[in-house]
Each structure stands twice: as C-alpha cells, then as structure tokens.
Amino acid sequence: MKQFIITLCTLCCLTAGAQQFQQEFGNPRKDFVERIATPNHSDSRYMPEQTATLRLTAREGGVPLPDGTVVRFKCGPEMMLPQQWDSTVFVSGEALICMGTMTEPGFLACQYEYMAGGHRQTDLVKVAFAPELINSYTQLPADFYRFWKQAVKEARKVDLEPEYYDVPDATNDEFVTQLVHLHVGASKWMYGYLTRPRNAAAGSCPVVLVPPGAGSGRIFPSDYFPRQGMVYLKIEIHGNDQRLDNDGYEALRRQCEGYERRGIESRDTYYYKDVYAGCVRAVDFLCSLPEWDGRNVIVTGGSQGGALTIVTAALSDKVTLCAPFYPALCDLGGFLHQRAGGWPKFFSPHYNGSPDESAMQTLQYYDVVNFARQLTVPTFMSWGYSDDTCSPTSVWAAWNAIVAPKQCDITPTSGHWRFSSSQEKCLRWMREQLRD
C-alpha cells in the first residue's frame, strides 16, 4: 500500500514538473530531431532472395541533417548481428542502407546510429522474409498432454484458501479492489489484485486473468477491464507479499533472480511447472466468484504474460478467449539452429551461463509453441518486428502453430511494447467474441 502511494506521488510530481516546463518554455508538439526509417517494402515483408533496403530520413528542428552526417550500421540475421560496422552518409536529409537478403524464412535486422541534436540517435529495424513459413524447431513430446493433465490435476487437489486484503487507494464508488492470496499448488502461492465493478449483479460479468511480464517486481491494480464490466485479476507468480515495504520487498525480489533457470535439469523440477499449473488455478478462482457470468473467461498479457496466456488457455478447460501480446518462451531451441529463439534466449551466444543443451529435453514441455499447438479457443495475438526481447521469428513460430480460430495485429515498427491502437483492437475483438 505504501508503495502504491509513493508511486502515485511520483506521478503527481512528474506531472507538476511537466506543467511547470510548459508554462515557462511552451509545450513542444514534436521532437527536435524527427526521424523515420522506411523499408522499400511498405509492409516490411519480403520473399527469400529479394533485397531489402532502408531509407533513413532525419531533420533537426525541421531542417534536413547536414550533408555528410555519418550513419554507422550493421545488418544480419536478428539477434546475430556482426561485430563490425559499415557506414554511409546523409544527403539532403536522407541516407540509404542496403540490408541485404535471406535465403530462408526469418528476420533480417539493421542496427544504426548517428549524431543529431547533440545526441546519439540509434534504433533497430527488422524486416520479415516469408514469415508465414517459419516453423518451430521445438519437438512435441509424445506424453506432453498427459504430463500437463496430471500436473493440473495435482494442483487442483489443493484448496485455494483465498485470503483477501482491502486496497482503499484503488477502491471507489465504481470499483472494489482487493489483494488476494491464493494457494495454487502443494507448495505454491500467488498474490493478485482483484478488481470488481461495485454492485455487479451475480452472474453478470466476464472474468479476465492477466499474468505478469518477466521479473519479480511489484504488480499494481488497474480499472481498465472493470470499466468494461469485467472482473479483473492481475497476478504475480512468485508468492511475494505485495504489502511489504520497499526494503522487505526488495529482499524477496533478489531471492527470485534467475528463477527462469531453476530446476531446468528435469521437467518435474523446473520452476515454471508450478507457475503454469498455478495460472490454471487462478482461472479456477475467478470462476468461483459470484459475479462470473458462467460463460466468458479471458486471459491476456504481454511477454512472459503473453506466454502464460497461451499456456493457461491451452491447459484450462474454462478459458474461452486467448489474447497474448509478443509472447516469450517460444521456440527456445532456435539458437541451437543458428536462428533467433525466444526469451530467455537460453542458448544465445550472449546469454550468461547458458544451460547444457540437454535442457532442451525439459524445455520441450515448457516451450510455448507446444501449447500454441493445443489451443482450441479463439485467439488474438499482436506483436512487432523491432522486438529484441521476444524475437519476431520465435513469435511467428508460435503463431504458425495455432490451428484454432485466430486474428493477428502486426505492427512492424513496435518493439517490446504495444501501440494503444493494438490494445483497442484487442478489446473490440474481445467484446465481439463474448458469449451471450
């Protein structure tokens, strides 16, 4: 609660500082350095053997950059760029970079930088080569479904034992927010912020589960989905008490570091086993609430939360809609085949302390591609091409594995984030898909 208040105060201070700047110096409506990078194919998609070029346009205060301004760049398969840089120059505010081509489906990346406005301007652009033909390198174990059916069955033997704590700062005349503590496995607990429309009638609300992105930081409540008449639960996956002060919480957070590798030696001991099953139990909890309409169960999240969205929708018999954004944990073995894989990039040459390749025996049971193959419910997925956390190659591998009804929103210029328009499209899709 204290952290929530501190965050709110910080936002107020930042807002006040911005208002003071505007009063003194005016309100800039554009960046001083305006720039755009445009591939020669407007949709950033190519067929193998076609050549991709990138046109950079840049202006300082509306004036083209001086002729001769140097651009350094390097191009290659995504996440596997060469060490050496090439260079070209701006002429009349434009510079042209030849990115090259690919002979197989995948993504080509260009990292570039130049000086303008007194600062180093840098960006990463990726383009796709026949992405609809990208296949996963992840094998589906013969006992995959049986393994997870048993894991969920064991988790469901444990009573959820929900404990509720009021959150006055996120409760008002429209919504009621509580912090809930759930027993989701034999030795697994999760916290979550539960927000419900105040005075919602019994059986009137769809329910929405939002798993978290990677890491072990605090989570925060939101009224985004409750404003749509939905009951919302945002969970964390480590069992860290959200009521602790900063020092206490930081101590817990440090204990979670490296969780994505814990127990990776075996499918039975890997950290994510209890997490995956625990997300199913979080759905069970939502479906136990009196407000649930008995028909609509939505799961949505981004990055690790996107991965857990697909996993939960595949494992839970209650989920009716699946809406992941740029999911992690997809096609994890891609790096072993000289192709970009998904976060946590275990086998990337840049990963610190990569596990032994034998870990792939475990990871086949956790790779999100294998859960994407199991999906049966309508799915909306959104991702960008300039993402260097969850590679678009790995996301496409998961997307191509889905045989359920699906709709995508691809925004090539976005990275490991989403445009507001993508969220709006997702919400419209959700509302169109709701069961009466």
Dump pLDDT digits (tens) for 131-169: 999 999 999 999 999 999 999 999 999 999 999 999 999
Which burial class, exposed, middle or buried, applies to 337 when counting CB atoms under 10 A from its CB (0-12, 13-18, 19+)?
exposed
> How far is it, in rounded angstroms, from Cα 208 to Cα 287?
10
Maximal CA-CA distance, the chain: 70
Strand order across the 406-411 sheet: 163-166, 175-185, 188-197, 231-235, 205-210, 292-302, 321-325, 379-384, 406-411
Give residue 354's pLDDT.
74
Is pLDDT at 413 greater than 50 in this prediction? yes
pLDDT digits (tens, 9 = 90+) for 298-309: 999 999 999 999
Give residue 20's pLDDT.
54
Strand partners, 54: 39, 97
Instruction: Please tell me which residue, 1 or 185, carries the higher pLDDT value.
Output: 185
Give residue 93's pLDDT.
96
β-pairing, 45-46 with 119-129? parallel
Sign (positive or negative) of CA dihedral 46, 48, 50, 51: positive
Is pLDDT at 119 greater than 70 in this prediction? yes
Residues with a known catalytic role: 303, 387, 416
What is the share, in percent, of the chain residues with pLDDT greater than 70? 93
pLDDT digits (tens, 9 = 90+) for 55-106: 999 999 999 999 999 999 999 999 999 999 999 999 999 999 999 999 999 9
β-pairing, 292-302 with 205-210? parallel
pTM > 0.85 = yes
Q: Enter the tokens of residue 277.
A: 């099953």
Give residue 7's pLDDT.
44
Least trusted range by pLDDT, from 19-23, 79-83, 420-424 = 19-23
Strand partners, 210: 234
